[in-house]
């Protein structure tokens, strides 16, 4: 489903050149749950941006559902993105001025769904995530956990093939964090590919595989169970 070959990203300013990703190669198969880990500044977010088609790499190849997309224009990326990828962010990134319903509805608007179809699908997903009773509330009226649940609703409402989650529990307490991770796990079990950037060993334990980055390069690719054991021992 996703294949990165020698993926490189270089940021240039007038005086400094920073290599954020340095010839990264890996593959993610459909239905996998992969965690990307590494210290701050290792290139996790840069990688997620490229994987999420928010940015193009400076070099290498990026195959996304059988398309080589590394040189796609912004318009082409936007088109591919809205049909195939759902995003979940650490800081939720809900639009404060829109209600829960309107936030979740937004991807369907850009996909051109009719109002009745939108209503049906939004209510369906809100119901599934048990947040239906809050549909007319605004993000600032919700708890962090509820906001992230809404963000997950928004990520899945268009039934994307992949969900990219960037520190999805970073702003949540452990109870709410677990809740969100369980949601992602359920989605994965139902066939959605999930790629998650995280600092948390606990969250990473939900993944089937972990890609570890350091200074823009992959240092290890492991099965997550080994880390779960380590994490469990640490607890």
Partner 1 sequence: MFSNYLISLWRHAKNAMLYPLISIFCLASGLTGVILITIFLNHELSYDTHHEHYRDIYRMDGTYDMAGTTYELAITPFPLAMAMQDEFAQVKTYARFFKQHEKAQVSIHEDTFFEEGIYLADSTVFDVFTHRFIHGQARGALSEPNTLVLTRSMSEKYFGQQNPVGRNLEIERSNYMITAVIEDLPSNSHLKYNALISMASASAEQVFSMNPDLFWNINETFTYIRLYPGQNMQDIMALMPGFLDKYVNPLGETFGASAEFTSTALRETHFTEIMMAPETGNKSVLWILFIVSLFLVIIAAINYTNLTTARAAKRAREIGVRKVIGASRKQLMNQFLSESMLTAIAALLVSVFCAELLMSFFNQLTGKEFTLLYLFKNGVWWQVLLITVFTGLAAGTYPAMVLSRMNPSLIIKGSAYKQRSSALLRKVLVIFQFAISILLVTATLTVQGQLRYLQNKQLGFDKENRLVVGVTGANNRANIETLENTLLQNPMVKGTTKAFSIPGQEHNVNAVRAEIEGEMRETTIAVNYVDYGFIDQLDIKLIKGRNFDPESRTDIYHAILVNESAVRQFGWHDEPIGKQIHMRFDQEGNPQAMFRVVGVVEDFHFLSLTNPIGPHMLIIPQTPATYRHIIVEYETGRREEVMASIDMAVRAFDQSRIPDISWLDQGFRDTFEDEERLGRVFSVFALLTIFISFLGLFGLSSFMVEQRKKEIGIRKILGSSISGVLGLLYKEFSWLIIIAIVLSVPFAWYFLNEWLNEFMYRISMTATHFILPAVLALTIALLTVSYHSIRAASINPADILRTE
Site of interaction with partner 1 (CB under 8 A):
45, 48-49, 52, 54-55, 74-75, 78-79, 81-83, 86-87, 89-91, 93-98, 102, 105-107, 109-111, 154, 158, 166
**Closer Cβ to partner 1, 72 or 227, answer by number:** 72
**Closer Cβ to partner 1, 11 or 225, answer by number:** 11
Q: Which of 61, 32, 40 is nearest to 195 (CA)?
A: 32
Q: Give me the least distance between CB of 59 and partner 1, in Å please.
A: 18
Q: Please give the distance of CA 224 from its chain centroid, rounded to a whole number.
A: 18
Q: Give me the least distance between CB of 22 and partner 1, in Å please.
A: 19
**Closer Cβ to partner 1, 33 or 87, answer by number:** 87
Q: How many helices (H) and strands (E) does the chain have?
A: 8, 10
Q: Give me the least distance between CB of 152 and partner 1, in Å please.
A: 13
Q: Name the CA dihedral angle for 63, 31, 85, 103, rounded to a multiple of 10 degrees.
A: -170
**Closer Cβ to partner 1, 81 or 202, answer by number:** 81
**Closer Cβ to partner 1, 52 or 177, answer by number:** 52
Q: What is the DSSP letter of 13?
A: -
Secondary structure of residue 172 in the 3-state scheme: coil
Q: Give me the least distance between CB of 213 and partner 1, in Å please.
A: 16
Rounded to a whole number of angstroms, the CA Rg of the chain reads 18
Q: How far apart are CA 34 and CA 12, in angstroms?
A: 30
Q: How far apart are CA 204 and CA 223, in angstroms?
A: 10
Residue 90 to residues 45, 140, 167, 169, 196: CA-CA distances in angstroms?
12, 16, 5, 6, 11
**Closer Cβ to partner 1, 91 or 143, answer by number:** 91
Q: What is the DSSP letter of 134?
A: G
Q: Give me the least distance between CB of 4 and partner 1, in Å please.
A: 17
Strands 217-223 and 59-64: unpaired
Q: Give me the least distance between CB of 212 and partner 1, in Å please.
A: 20
């Amino acid at each position: 489903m996703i294949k990165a070959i020698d993926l490189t990203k270089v940021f240039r300013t007038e005086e400094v050149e920073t290599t954020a990703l340095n010839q990264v190669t890996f593959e993610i198969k459909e239905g996998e749950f992969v965690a990307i880990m590494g210290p701050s500044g290792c290139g996790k977010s840069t990688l997620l941006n490229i994987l999420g088609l928010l940015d193009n790499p400076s070099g290498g190849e990026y195959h996304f559902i059988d398309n080589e997309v590394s040189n796609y224009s912004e318009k082409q990326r936007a088109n591919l993105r809205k049909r195939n990828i759902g995003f979940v962010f650490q800081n939720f990134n809900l639009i404060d001025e829109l209600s829960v319903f309107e936030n979740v509805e937004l991807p369907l608007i850009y996909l051109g769904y009719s109002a009745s179809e939108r209503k049906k699908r939004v209510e369906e997903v809100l119901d599934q995530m048990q947040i239906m009773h809050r549909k007319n509330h605004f993000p600032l009226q919700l708890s962090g956990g509820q906001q992230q649940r809404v963000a997950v609703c928004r990520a899945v409402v268009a039934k994307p093939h992949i969900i990219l989650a960037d520190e999805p529990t970073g702003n949540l307490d452990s109870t709410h964090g677990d809740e969100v991770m369980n949601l992602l796990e359920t989605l994965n079990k139902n066939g959605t590919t999930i790629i998650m950037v995280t600092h948390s060993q606990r969250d990473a334990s939900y993944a089937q595989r972990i890609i570890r980055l350091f200074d823009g390069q992959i240092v290890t690719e492991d099965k997550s169970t080994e880390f779960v054991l380590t994490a469990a021992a640490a607890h």
